[in-house]
Amino acid sequence: MAKILVTGGLGYIGSHTCVALFESGHEPVVIDNLSNSEAHVKNQIEAITNSSISLEVLDLCDFDALNRFLEKENDIAGVIHFAALKAVGESVEKPLLYYQNNIQGLINLLTAQKNAIPFIFSSSCTVYGDSDILPLKEDFPFQKAVSPYGSTKQMGEEILKFSAGKNHQGPVIALRYFNPIGAHPSSKIGELPRGIPQNLIPYLTQTAAGKRTILSVFGDTYPTHDGTCIRDYIHVMDLADAHVFALNRLLEGKNKNNFEVYNIGTGKGCSVLELIHKFEKTTGVAVPHKIAPPRAGDVTAAFADTELAETVLGWRAKRSLEEALLSAWNWEKQLP
Ligand code: NAD
Ligand code: WQD
């Protein structure tokens, strides 16, 4: 059983990955400052896995506290680094907060790390920007970042590309997530947006549940088959599994390079209107919606080329979009 440090492990993707780590025989050790998560998520992970999990409430920007923690935890075999702020709109309003939290947090973690151990980084399809060529492939160059948030993901990858394998840094895999949705089938963990959701699925499920009156579809004149934007929605449990594949590749020393990048998506695009209709058909619940003006910064279409993840990591998404939507709905229904 390898001890794996999971930063941001009580967050949306981190909590599902903790479950996947336990199920694959690893032992997650979580650091989280609870800035965008709730302490009780720890109990939920424990209930699902029937195991106890170690949690350190700590801010990665507090270098001394982090360093003390890592001096104590000297048998960590790998790191999965989720901890970051992720709200695109907020990052435009508070750019320095995003650079400080996401970049300073990453540098502190790399600096405080004691041994050259495997490191998995949460990157994002946002690094591709608005590309005319689809599907998106890992070797496409970065486009100009449209937000400080996206810029922190590009910078994070650059920092890791140059530092991986140097001094006391181990090998790194950056996973570029597409659009994670859904929840664990137990409905014990899921997405917990604070305030008004900015992302499509939590807004949609809250509207279906009657917590919001109507869902705005941002734009219907994009050059797509129905005029609405296309994204690659992936079940969060598939995404969680991808971390285990990436981690095992590095732990087993199968990586060819010190820095590798993989797209983590389904490879299939789905428009906003298609998604709404699929949700209605799968759950039998209507989603009141209206067409609204486009949202600034949205790209027309983004979906992954998944060949590299399939052939090299040996991972591919197994769960259907219907399964993901149903799990998101089951999660929403039991929320207060
Ligand atoms: P989340 O906000 O649910 O989880 C992030 C966790 O990190 C939270 O629990 C938060 O409290 C913690 N955190 C933030 N800053 C911290 C700090 N300085 N010190 C300690 N803990 C800190 O977000 P998520 O959706 O689970 O995303 C996880 C990662 O994946 C992030 O890096 C995000 O940028 C990336 N990502 C997310 C998506 C998405 O759509 N959810 C897509 C692509 C990439
Ligand atoms: C999906 C589609 C919206 C809300 C974001 C980040 C990206 C990555 C994933 C972290 C878009 C439309 C949305 C609504 C709508 N995160 N929409 N009405 O923008 O693809 O990606 O999360 O790295 O960086 O930008 O996801 O869920 O916000 O939007 O019509 O109320 O739904 O226009 O086409 P997005 P999203």
- What pLDDT is recorded for position 332? 98
84 pLDDT tier (thresholds 50, 70, 90) = very high
CA atoms of 45 and 65, how far apart (whole Å): 25
pLDDT digits (tens, 9 = 90+) for 90-138: 999 999 999 999 999 999 999 999 999 999 999 999 999 999 999 999 9
pLDDT digits (tens, 9 = 90+) for 286-314: 999 999 999 999 999 999 999 999 999 99
Residue nearest to atom 10 of ligand 1 (CA): 36
**Amino acid found at 174:** A
DSSP for 166-228 reads: STT---EEEEEE-EEE---TTSSS-----SS--SHHHHHHHHHTTSSS-EEEE-S-SSSTTSS
- What pLDDT is recorded for position 252? 97
- What pLDDT is recorded for position 124? 98
CA atoms of 28 and 71, how far apart (whole Å): 17
CA–centroid distance, residue 179 to ligand 1 (Å): 13
- 182 Cβ below 6 A of ligand 1: no
**Amino acid found at 77:** A
What atom in ligand 2 is closest to the CA of residue 294? Answer: 33
For ligand 1, mutation pick of 5, 13, 159, 234 (most atoms within 8 Å of CB): 13
Instruction: Enter the pTM of the model.
Output: 0.98
The answer to whether 274 and 187 have CB atoms below 8 angstroms apart is no
149's tokens: 């948030």
- 8 Cβ below 6 A of ligand 1: yes
CA–centroid distance, residue 281 to ligand 1 (Å): 31
Residue nearest to atom 13 of ligand 1 (CA): 83
Does residue 149 carry a catalytic annotation? Answer: yes
208's tokens: 């279906």
**Nearest ligand, measured from the Cα of 212:** 2
- What pLDDT is recorded for position 161? 98
- 7 Cβ below 6 A of ligand 2: no
Residue ranges covered by each domain of the chain? 3-181+233-264, 200-231+267-333
Q: Which architecture characterizes domain 200-231+267-333 according to CATH?
A: Alpha-Beta Complex (3.90)
- 190 Cβ below 6 A of ligand 1: no
- What pLDDT is recorded for position 146? 87
- 61 Cβ below 6 A of ligand 1: yes
DSSP for 214-256 reads: -EEEE-S-SSSTTSS-EE-EEEHHHHHHHHHHHHHHHHTT--S
Which CATH number describes the domain made up of 3-181+233-264? Answer: 3.40.50.720
1 pLDDT tier (thresholds 50, 70, 90) = confident
Q: Do domains 3-181+233-264 and 200-231+267-333 have the same CATH topology?
A: no
Average pLDDT over residues 47-66: 97
pLDDT digits (tens, 9 = 90+) for 218-272: 999 999 999 999 999 999 999 999 999 999 999 999 999 999 999 999 999 999 9
- 73 Cβ below 6 A of ligand 1: no
- 239 Cβ below 6 A of ligand 1: no
Q: Which of 12, 149, 177, 203 is catalytic?
A: 149
How are strands ordered across the β-sheet holding 119-124? Answer: 54-57, 27-32, 3-7, 78-81, 119-124, 172-177, 259-264
What atom in ligand 2 is closest to the CA of residue 126? Answer: 24
CA atoms within 13 A on the CB side of 50: 2
**Amino acid found at 70:** L
Using the CB atoms, write b or e for 258-281: b if 16+ within 10 Å: bbbbbbbbbbbbbbbbbbbebbbe
200's tokens: 């499509």
pLDDT digits (tens, 9 = 90+) for 157-197: 999 999 999 999 999 999 999 999 999 999 999 999 999 99
pLDDT at 214 over 90: yes
